[in-house]
Amino acid sequence: MFRPTALVSLTALASAVYAQQVGTQKAEVHPTLSWQTCTSSGCTTTAGSVALDANWRWLHTTTGYTNCYTGNAFDTSLCPDGVTCANNCALDGADYSGTYGITTSGSALTLKFKTGTNIGSRVYLMANDSKYQMFKLKNKEFTFDVELSSLGCGLNGALYFSEMLEDGGLSKYPTNRAGAKYGTGYCDAQCPHDIKFISGEANVDGWTGTSTNTGKGKYGSCCDEMDVWEANSISSAYTPHPCTSTGPFRCEGTGCDVCDQPGCDFNSYRMGDKTYYGPGSTFKIDTTKKITVVTQFKTADGTDTGTLSEIRRLYVQNGVVFQNSKVNIPGMSSNYDSITEQFCTDQKAAFSDTNIFAAKGGMKGMGDAMSNGMVLVMSVWDDYTANMLWLDSNYPTDRPASQPGTARGTCATTSGVPADVESQQANASVTFSNIKFGTIGSTYSGSTASSSTTSRASSSSSSSSSRTTTTTANTTSQTQWGQCGGVRNFLISP
């Protein structure tokens, strides 16, 4: 997936960026978010919360209000090197709703795309005040509801898992005193270089501005990534990205070639079904309505320790369960409707793409990361790298749209320009709700859609109230990949 840089302008004394110390100007209070764990006997509610990624926060001196980073540059007097910068600079609490447009209610999380001058956001599900909730996905099922009708071309409401450290690196790196409570330790399969602090040190070595408000340093931050949901109202995809490294890995130079950046994706439109997902009653999955998204991580032997063999997608709308769309691509079996090792091999051949997925570990490598535990990430963002064309338009743009794998959605190749998206879709938002995790078949219910179904979905099934503790269970040549949720830089208001 592409993961661009982002821009926000905070008022008064704030300039936001990654930090490793803890400030005292504003108390950090995590918005609550309940979710459920399920078995064949029923579902039990967990009282969780979310933490804002450190990149969106105010970074200032530990002794006052002076910004440690402004525009696209570190203050070299405070940050002459990575360790000194980590010691001199503090990360503060966040005004979730007022500054960032992040609100929760029971089991629902809403992320507004634009709030004032803030653009986008990224949050993590917390187990407690100082640790991320860890998920071991093999032989399990993950389900959530999503409402994204206002996300048009160029926007992405993403939900995914990254192999981050449970405490955000707090115990591993002495210079990181903020930890998961303040959203530190981000990594993904793109090995992003525009993260300001990696492994407890500022990424100041070789830092250069890439635009007025963005920059990149010498180091990148790599880890396995499972994209459960990258979507707007036009297109959606789910994509595993394995890495040959284990856990968060600070890379440099050619050492950053450790992850499958393109991934092995399943986008129904790209895979040949152009009427499966989209806005309105002509589509099987109608994005003008709430959608229940079910993802199953199946193993070869049906155990939690077995080899990951299949990642299967289901949808529920209006009480009806829809199987994933079938593949309609020359050279690929029409029986394919999920991600397997063979699906990925055949897809890469049909699309004339190099099979980096297999080279970086394939399904087994992705499954190994799942066994280690992964952090749930939710975000909304626009794309400064490729205008989100890789999700919802023709991409790469130097390939003919008729070439298999190029067409990914109906958006124009001129769409998705961040300046246009930010002015025309300022009121857009995504809501994730009713998160459930458990044994396969335990997190959703509904009748099965027949192949002759003509009616279209109008609303999603929903889980029980978050206040209820138990419910009844039912059985190329172009730069292509960037960082999900946007690694964002920030400006101080004059």
Using an 8 Å Cβ cutoff, are 185 and 173 in contact?
Answer: no
- Which residues have a Cβ under 8 Å from the Cβ of 249 and sit 6 or more positions away? 187, 221, 222, 223, 243, 258
Sheet holding 89-91, edge to edge: 21-22, 89-91, 59-61
pLDDT at 475 over 50: no
Cα 7 to Cα 115: distance, rounded to the nearest angstrom: 12
- Which residues have a Cβ under 8 Å from the Cβ of 494 and sit 6 or more positions away? none
Q: What is the pLDDT of residue 258?
A: 97
Tokens representing residue 480 in the block: 């292509």
Catalytic residue numbers read: 225, 230
Q: What is the pLDDT of residue 347?
A: 98
Segment 152-162 mean pLDDT: 98
pLDDT at 87 over 80: yes
Residue-wise pLDDT tens digits, 303-329: 999 999 999 999 999 999 999 999 999
**112-126, 224-238, 444-458: which has the minimum mean pLDDT?**
444-458
Q: What is the pLDDT of residue 21?
A: 74
Q: What percent of the chain lies above the pLDDT cut of 70?
A: 86
**DSSP string of 253-272, one letter each residue:** GGGGTTB-SS---B-TTTTT
In this structure, which amino acid lies at residue 98?
A: G
72 vs 17 pLDDT, higher one: 72
Say if pTM beats, i.e. exceeds, 0.85: yes
Residue 396: asked if its preceding bond is cis (omega within 30°), the reply is: yes
486 vs 128 pLDDT, higher one: 128
- Residue 360 backbone dihedrals phi, psi, to 5 degrees: -100, 10
Task: Please state, in angstroms and as integers, the Cα–Cα distance from residue 145 to each residue in 2, 291, 316, 332, 430, following that order.
Answer: 23, 5, 9, 31, 11
Tokens representing residue 426 in the block: 């300022």
pLDDT at 441 over 90: yes
Per-residue pLDDT band for 211 (boundaries 50, 70, 90) equals: low
pLDDT at 408 over 80: yes
Q: Quick check: helix, strand or coil at residue 321?
A: strand
Residue-wise pLDDT tens digits, 122-139: 999 999 999 999 999 999
Segment 391-405 mean pLDDT: 97
**32-41, 87-96, 331-340: which has the minimum mean pLDDT?**
87-96
Residue-wise pLDDT tens digits, 5-15: 444 433 333 33
Q: What is the pLDDT of residue 468?
A: 33
pLDDT at 4 over 50: no
pLDDT at 252 over 90: yes
Per-residue pLDDT band for 26 (boundaries 50, 70, 90) equals: confident
Per-residue pLDDT band for 213 (boundaries 50, 70, 90) equals: low
Q: What is the pLDDT of residue 70?
A: 87
Task: Please state, in angstroms and as integers, the Cα–Cα distance from residue 466 to each residue in 47, 110, 140, 376, following that order.
Answer: 9, 16, 21, 19
Per-residue pLDDT band for 57 (boundaries 50, 70, 90) equals: confident
Q: What is the pLDDT of residue 454?
A: 35
